[in-house]
Structure 1
Amino acid sequence: MTLLVGDIGGTNSRFGLVAQGDLRPDGVRTIRNDDHSSFEEAVAAYLDGAAERPKRAAFALAGPVAGRAAKLTNRDWPIDADALQTRLGLDHVALLNDFVAQASALPHFQAGETTPIGDVAPSNAASKAALGPGTGLGVAGLLLTDGAWLPVPSEGGHIELAAVDAREFAIFALIRRGFGRISAEHVLSGPGLRRLHEALAAVEGAAPPDLEPAEIVAQAEAGDASAAEAVALFLRLLARFAGDVALTFGAQGGVYLCGGVAPKLLGLLDVAAFRAAFEAKRPHEALMRKTATVVVTSEVAGLIGCAAAVRSDRAA
């Protein structure tokens, strides 16, 4: 039976159809959310042009999922699975957190859909973890238990993040003023990169720059010293956090950086520095040296993950 899959963000929604016995989507199409007043309308717009009318659906959502209901973090679209079934004539609708879907996809990528950071290859014989900076910081585990993959949702992006040297302490102290604490998401996200850039300027006594994250990355690529330092710090903190996530989930099968931000930073990534920060987890350096770090570059990871989760009956 064909499965309708969707990866739903705040700005765009990507849909596809997955054939029975497969995990990879066909007929993939991206729809601008601003063109539709509700999630139901966006799904209907895709189905109007689809090659066939599926009876089951699974949607990965950038927001919290509570049973049969969900709400996107960055769009006022309340989503009700039962209402979707009724309006669209579907037999069943499954709702997943977007990073549960990302984690579910990890064992199923093809060549060219990932880029390794370092020489260690990921393994499908051990548990894995997915994390990804974006508007926020998503985290999920994928445990291998009794030969089956079990996705584990997490709010790991909100754990406390520690500074480890005097410069980081000074930067974190400035950022902490606005939040009372420093969570990983406060600095390891698009807004977090901007906070790091502004705090670095303040530490140097310079006027705070007014740049969007994409502009900071562009300036770093052009050789601007302050932007390059902000991106380097961001990547070092991301590596340390990825190491913490690996230890938390026992992810000896690999830690995967997912979402749209990490691939855009590959050109600025110092592989040796990233691996050094990732592996510096005394007394487990030897374990960390054997744990792969990977950037996911597939544009359909969320769709693959939807199909994988439903096919395993974990998200139905």
Structure 2
Amino acid sequence: MGDIGGTNSRFGLICAGELRPRSVETAPDEAYPAFEDAVAAYLHKTSEKPRRAAFAVAGPVRNGAAHLTNRDWTIDAAALSRRFGFAAVKVINDFVAQAASLPHLAPDELRRIGGPEPRPEAVKAAVGPGTGLGVAALLRVGGTWLPVASEGGHVELAAVGEREDAAFAAIRREHGRVSAEHVLSGPGLARLHRALHGGAAISAAAVSEGAARNDPAALETIEIFLRILARFAGDVALTFGAGGVYFCGGVLPKLIGFVDTGAFRSSFEAKGPHRGMMRETATLLVTSPVAGLVGCAALAEARGR
């Protein structure tokens, strides 16, 4: 199994009928010129020869193949079968896999961000700021969980208030439009900081480090980022009719110490006539580092029946 992002790839092995991975390894994508090289390195290290494979990839999947949105890698099921002798290969959108993992995560792999407890059978939405911004949903249909893919991270994003208006205008001059991913991602956090405060470009990690030192500019950037993320997550909940929004990806875990739960929930719930419904919608952070692998295994198991 593999969970393939634009920055890192995580691989693991799963026995038939199981969902929890073993021999988990994470590797930086930049270490390999092509995806197949990363697979070959992992298999060489483990000395294993799996019969089947499933890969969750950060990009849209068409006819068993995908090209990563934020890295020049192509993942092709037929090519992987030929090179590695896999009897079957599944290529799955990464946030479909994140969504598919949600019913199978342990309670200690979820952290509630205010609001109510999630309803077990309700629609679940996965939202993930990382290298990009993933969005997917999971619906209960006839006793089975059905994942719904989307490219919701690329919808147009609206500004609220003068500071956001000014920042979005700066981003618009650079990109022509302001998609959700342009702001709500690791690169987006850095982009938002520069749009708000000017100066030389800095990394998302540097913004976080500045906030940890109580730098006012960095703290403002993170406050606005979290407010926009909460509003966007509320929009996703309305779109899917979700009973819970689950935050995945690598960005929010690094910022969770800066989250003002009351302010986050207030932005999430501010949906006019639907405010009451939003108060009943859970918001949770997924803390499991292997959720993508668990979701891959769940989908592969379901499709293999």
TM-score (norm 1): 0.91
Q: Secondary structure at the match of 1:256?
A: strand
Q: 1:16·1:25 contact (CA, 8 Å) conserved in 2? A: yes
Alignment correspondent of 1:204? none
Residue 83 in structure 1 maps to residue 83 in structure 2:
no
Gaps of 5+ in 2: none
Q: Aligned partners of 1:312, 1:186: CA distance in 2, in Å?
A: 34
Task: Pick which of 120-129 and 6-15 moved more.
Answer: 6-15
**Residue of structure 2 aligned with 1:267, choices 257, 262, 280:** 257
Shift of 1:167: 2.7
Task: Flag the structure with higher helix content.
Answer: 2
Give me the identity figure in percent.
Answer: 60
Q: Aligned partners of 1:10, 1:181: CA distance in 2, in Å?
A: 22
Q: 2:7·2:131 contact (CA, 8 Å) conserved in 1? A: no
Alignment correspondent of 2:25? 29
**Residue of structure 1 aligned with 2:15, choices 9, 14, 19:** 19
Q: Go from structure 1 to structure 2 and tell me whether the alpha carbon gap of 1:126 and 1:209 turns closer, same or farther (over 3 Å shift).
A: same
Gaps of 5+ in 1: 202-206
Alignment correspondent of 2:276? 286
Structure 1 residues 79-228: aligned runs within 5 Å: 79-201=75-197, 207-228=198-219
Q: 2:115·2:281 contact (CA, 8 Å) conserved in 1? A: no
Shift of 1:180: 2.7
Q: How many residues align?
A: 305
Amino acid across the alignment from 2:295: G
Q: Secondary structure at the match of 2:171?
A: helix
Q: Aligned partners of 2:176, 2:108: CA distance in 1, in Å?
A: 42
Q: Aligned partners of 1:38, 1:159: CA distance in 2, in Å?
A: 29
Q: 2:211·2:218 contact (CA, 8 Å) conserved in 1? A: yes
Shift of 1:144: 1.3
Q: Go from structure 1 to structure 2 and tell me whether the alpha carbon gap of 1:191 and 1:39 turns closer, same or farther (over 3 Å shift).
A: closer
Q: Go from structure 1 to structure 2 and tell me whether the alpha carbon gap of 1:159 and 1:38 turns closer, same or farther (over 3 Å shift).
A: closer
1:283-310 deviations in whole A, cap 9, x for unaligned? 1111111111011111101100101111
Alignment correspondent of 2:222? 231
Amino acid across the alignment from 2:71: R
Task: Pick which of 185-194 and 226-235 moved more.
Answer: 185-194
Structure 1 outlier segments of 4+, above 4 Å: none
Q: Aligned partners of 1:131, 1:228: CA distance in 2, in Å?
A: 23
TM-score (norm 2): 0.94
Q: Go from structure 1 to structure 2 and tell me whether the alpha carbon gap of 1:97 and 1:38 turns closer, same or farther (over 3 Å shift).
A: same
Q: Secondary structure at the match of 2:49?
A: coil
